[in-house]
Each structure stands twice: as structure tokens, then as C-alpha cells.
Amino acid sequence: MTNYYIEQNNKIILWDTDLEKLSNTIVFLSDIPENIEIKQTEDEIVYRNNEFVFANEIQAELLEDARQLKIDEINAAKETAFKSGFFFNNSHFDCDDRAQIRLSAQLAIAKQDDTIIWLDYDYNPVTFTYEEFVQMCQVATSIVSNIEFETSTLLEAAAEASSVDELNLLSINYNAVIFRTQQETESEDTNE
């Protein structure tokens, strides 16, 4: 449907679907110059925030708002996943940034014949052989990598989404990523 409109200061001030009706209305409005250009568009015109705007501009604005909300949701879920940690040998461990640094440092100084005492998520000591500790570090590293990869994939999909509906379809389930990684790591260990 064709819409006819007039603009002042780059704002739509009057519009109608009937050109003749719009032209007749302009004649009776004293604050509109007689020689003002009547423009036409196939875009829908809607009233929003006390002004007339093209509907596609609103859709773009709504999409950007929804995109930012989804990005914030993805990042918050990632941080929650890191903070929730992981399970190894029936014990719960951290995998947030500080835990990753501590694990790397301990692994760097550990020796083949060491027994390593490590604190679990609730600060209870857990005793590891060197090999068990290496396996636990591998699980932690895999989980962190997979969470980061999943985050990257989700953020890319959010950036490329062309509608709010597409954004709403993005599923964020880091628990599944952690569980799948733990299962894969355990099956690798049993296959060796």
C-alpha cells in the first residue's frame, strides 16, 4: 500500500494513504508551507514515541535491542557456567578464571611422582596422583575451551540474526556443554 507523507526537519509530520485527502488537509494547516513536497513510500508508517516513523526503522531498533539482550544473556550464562564448575572423580571443582590460573600453576610445578592435594569447590581437600591431576586439568581445559567455543558460536549467530524470532531461537545450555565434555573426556580416558 502506498503511503503519502510530508516531512519537516527530517520528521514525518502528516501522512495518509489517500493523496487527495492529504493535499486537502495541507491547505487548511497554516504552519505548513504551500509548496511543501508530498512524498510517497511503500513502507508502513506508524506512530511511536510521539512521532510518525517508518515501521522498518522500528523493526531495526527492536532487533538491535533484542540482539544486545541476547548478547548479555549469552555472556551471563557463560560466566554462570564457569562459576558452576565441573565434576571429576565424584568431586566438584571450579573452572572460573582464577581456578584456571591455579590449575595451570600447579600443573607447571608438579612432578611425576607427586601426590597433589587440591581443594574442591567447597574447599574440601582431594588427593590426586600426578596422572589423576593431569586428567583433571585436561577436563577443566576442555570444558573451558568448549564453553568459549559455544559462546563464540552463539555470539556470531546473535550478530547475524536478521529477526527477533531468530534471536529467540538461540538456545543457551552450557550445562549440556559441560556434561558432553565430561562424557567425552571420560570415554577418551577409558579408551587409552
46-73 pLDDT, tens digit each: 888 888 888 778 788 889 999 999 999 9
The backbone torsions φ and ψ at residue 119, rounded to the nearest 5 degrees and listed phi first, read -85, 135
Q: Kindly indicate the confidence band of residue 149, based on its pLDDT and cuts at 50, 70 and 90.
A: very high
Mean pLDDT, to the nearest integer, of 1-29?
86
The more confident residue out of 41 and 189 is 41
pLDDT for position 61: 84
CB 174 within 8 A of CB 120: no
- Rounded CA-CA distance 31/101 in Å is 69
Share of the chain above pLDDT 70, in %: 96
Asked which of 31-40, 72-81, 130-139 is least confident by mean pLDDT, the reply is: 31-40
- Rounded CA-CA distance 177/153 in Å is 13
**C-alpha to C-alpha distances, 50 to 8, 11, 12, nearest whole angstrom:** 15, 11, 11
Domain-wise residue ranges, the chain = 3-42, 60-191
Which cell goes with 183?
562424557
pLDDT for position 157: 95
Asked which of 13-22, 23-32, 89-98 is least confident by mean pLDDT, the reply is: 23-32
- Rounded CA-CA distance 114/38 in Å is 84
The more confident residue out of 67 and 96 is 67
pTM, entire model: 0.68
Tell whether the model's pLDDT for residue 191 goes beyond 60: no
- Distance, CA of 189 to chain centre: 33
